[in-house]
Chain A
Amino acid sequence: EIVMTQSPATLSVTPGERVTLSCRASQSVSSNLAWYQQKPGQAPRLLIYGASTRATGIPARFSGNGSGTEFTLTISSLQSEDFAVYYCQQYNNWPRTFGGGTKVEIK
């Protein structure tokens, strides 16, 4: 099973700041990586797939990068609605696996 490790676990930021979240795979997943955003009481929302392709309706301030084992999700200017938990997920191998999440909170 591929283990996905996200860092940091929590990120305290000020609105307007640029934020970069990291996700590392225990073995190569090529570009088969997705990012999700989850707010309290809501289902996850797909942000990025293919490591860097924004899903339908996702604002341009969200961008994904990386391949192999190292990936990042960048939010160029954090908006109030972006405070949430972010998960990465690999789909290169079965079983599909998620990272433990990064909580982005207000500083």
Chain B
Amino acid sequence: EVQLLESGGGLVQPGGSLRLSCVASGFTFSTYAMSWVRQAPGKGLEWVSAISGSGANTYHADSVKGRFTISRDNSKNTLFLQMNSLRAEDTALYYCAYSPGGWNYFDYWGQGTLVTVSS
């Protein structure tokens, strides 16, 4: 059974940093691209970042480019999102997600970890 378990969310002041983690199980983690998708309270879905199975290729939304970095540790089946220079508009539930079909759409989602940026 595929499981994605996010952690690392919390309350942080504007300008601060957080590192999110997503531990994966139930599939061969290193084979598949992974993504982060976020959802602000009461709002829609926003794709944030994606990384290839090897970690060699990454993509970020313009809204987070230069501030967020996606990475992975295939030896620990773990996906990361390093978030720096956080803004109020980064407040959201952050999901990790993936598809066996590639990094296009998302079959599997975690339950999310909440990031709140506020003073």
Contacts and interface: CB of A to CB of B under 8 A. Distances in A.
Contacts, number: 53
Interface stretch (B8-16, B45-53, B80-88): B45-53
B31 to A, nearest CB: 18
B62 A95 contact: yes
Interface stretch (B17-25, B68-76, B105-113): B105-113
Contacts of A36: 45, 106
Interface in B80-119: 95, 99, 101, 104-107, 109-112
A70 B44 CA distance: 20
Highest count of chain B CB atoms <10 Å: which of A32, A55, A91, A95: A95
Contact of B105 (A1, A56, A91): A91
Contact of A98 (B46, B50, B111): B46
Interface stretch (A18-26, A41-49, A74-82): A41-49
Nearest to A35: B105
Contacts of B27: none
Contacts of A95: 47, 59-62
24 contacts: A32-B104, A34-B105, A38-B45, A43-B95, A43-B110, A43-B111, A44-B45, A46-B105, A46-B106, A46-B107, A56-B107, A87-B44, A87-B45, A89-B45, A95-B47, A95-B59, A95-B60, A96-B47, A96-B104, A98-B45, A98-B46, A98-B47, A99-B44, A101-B45
